Structure formats: structure tokens, C-alpha cells
Structure 1
Amino acid sequence: MIAATALLAATACGEQTTAQNQPGAGAEPPPASQELSRAPEDVPHDGPVPMGQIDSAALPEGYPLDVAVSEQGRTLTIVAQEGGCTKASATVEEQTERKVAITLVESKPADKNVACTMDMRYPPLTVELEEPLSDRKVVLDHETSTH
């Protein structure tokens, strides 16, 4: 009886731990105000861009917020959000002395009869800058499109 109880407790704990460690297993996306998103651990970056240097006001609520800059300052890695049939991409729209404006695009199929899964993915996207980021503000925008 004691062995059966211990086995049941171990199994229940194992299931709980497994469910909590799986991406998207009933968890809500991180809030945009969170310092860094819960993006995959293998996101290649040299250092995070300080939160005060990022303008994320145009991102949808709950969108991950994780922006990193390479050691040389010319490559930004931004964690995006995509799921099912959608595909994320990033485009540098404008580069001035004060800011770098980047649009994150989530493209979905034009055919509404396509069966799509309900999974969420957080791919790291990279963009190249003409000059090092330095203290310029990173302004993030979001749009959806069809392909």
C-alpha cells in the first residue's frame, strides 16, 4: 500500500513537472511588460537591449519582448511570435540617429480552408543595422498579412 501511494505521488509529480516544462502547455504568453520573454534558451545573442531603450507600445498584448544586440552592435535578435500556419518575419523600416524602427510581420495563408495547428512558436529573428545600435531607441511595430 505504501509503495503504491509513493508510486502514485511520484507519477503525479512527474506529470505536473512535465506539463509545466512544455512550451505552450496551458500557459499564457508572457506579458509585454515582463523584462524578458520565456523564449527558447538557445536564442543566439550577446546581450539584452535595456528595456528603457525599447518602445513596444505597438505590439499586441502578451507579445514576447526579448531584444538582444550583438557584441558589434550591428545585429539585433528579436524573439517573435508565430503559430499554426503563420510565419514571422522582421523588417528594418527606418534607421535614424535616434531610433531604429522594426516591423514584425505575422503572415498567414490567404486560403481560409487550410487546416492549421494550434501551437505557438517563438522564433528568434535577426536584422542587420547600417550602424551600431549604441543608445538609439528600438521601436517595434506589428502587422499581419496574408501570403
Structure 2
Amino acid sequence: MRWIRGIIAAAALLTVTACGEQTATTGNGSGEAGGGPPASQELSRAPEEVPNDGPVPMGRIDASALPEGYPVDVAVSEEGRTLTIVAQEGGCTKASATVAEQSAERVEVTLVESKPADKNTMCTMDMRYPPLTVELDEPLGKRVVVLDHKRTTH
């Protein structure tokens, strides 16, 4: 009987551990050329998910508000009105993107990571990097893309 209690205790510990939040600690998240997302994040996307209309140069992306280790990968369509941004989500979280502001100098995009309000929700420990698109009023041109990050509950 003692071994049954041991198995139950181990299963409970694994369940609690699997439901905890995981924080990415790899990469420097600086957004500088050569200091982009860690290789593990780049390799986690399937090749068909990588936007290939045209990458926005790192010098025209302000990713200083993103959490450390968050991928910095922005592409613009040939017409210049659609941005594709690689986001990060995992477990029970879901990523979305909205254009917060557009001016002659910059386009600010808010990346939102939503998690369930119910703290008893069981979640996996996987990480995903979905490509999200946002539409601009005018072509991007030489404007700077400013990436912001927000966490919410749903």
C-alpha cells in the first residue's frame, strides 16, 4: 500500500510541475544584428511558416519592449501594407497582434499573449512561434517597426 501512495504523490508532483509557467532564459533578446532569437527558436518553425516576402532590416525594428529571448522576426509583403511578425506562445497561451499606432515615422505593433483566467487549467510545456499578420493603412516604406508586448488573461 505504501508504494501506491508514492505513485500518487509522484503523479501529483508531475502534474503541478507541468502546469507551472516556463520562462525562456536563452538568448539575449537585444534585437541587434547577430543577437536575434536563439537558434532553438529559429529551428522550431517549419520552413513554410517563415515569411519570405522580404525581411525588415534589424536597424528598422525596435524590439526593446519585448521580453528577453522573444523572437525578433518581421517581414513586409511586396505591396508594403502587410507585416508578418513571428510571435511566441506556449502551453495554454495564445498570441495575437494589433497595430497600436501608425505615423509618418513609425508603426507600433502590440503582441498580446493571452492565458486562461482559470489557474487550474492544465497546460502543456511546449513553445510555438506562429506567424501573425497585421494590415497597415499605408505601405511601411522607411518607417520603423516598434514591437510592444502585453500579457492578458481570457
Distance (Å, rounded) in 1 between the aligned partners of 2:36 and 2:117 = 35
Partner of 1:47: 54
TM-score normalised by the chain length of structure 1: 0.77
Written as runs of structure 1 = structure 2, the 5 A alignment for 1:77-96 is 77-96=84-103
Aligned-CA RMSD value: 1.7
Q: Which runs of 5+ in 2 are unaligned?
A: 1-23
Distance (Å, rounded) in 2 between the aligned partners of 1:67 and 1:142 = 14
After TM superposition, the runs of 4+ consecutive aligned structure 1 residues lying more than 4 A away are 27-30
Distance (Å, rounded) in 1 between the aligned partners of 2:75 and 2:65 = 19
Partner of 1:62: 69
Written as runs of structure 1 = structure 2, the 5 A alignment for 1:1-12 is none
| Contact residue 58 and residue 140 of structure 1 kept, 8 A | yes
Aligned residue pairs, count: 121
Which amino acid is the alignment partner of residue 117 of structure 1? Answer: T
Aligned partner of residue 52 in structure 1, secondary structure: helix
Deviations 1:17-65 (A, max 9, x none): xxxxxxxxxx965442334661622223301000000000000000001
| Contact residue 45 and residue 77 of structure 1 kept, 8 A | no
TM-score normalised by the chain length of structure 2: 0.74
Compare 58-67 and 35-44 and name the one that shifted more: 35-44
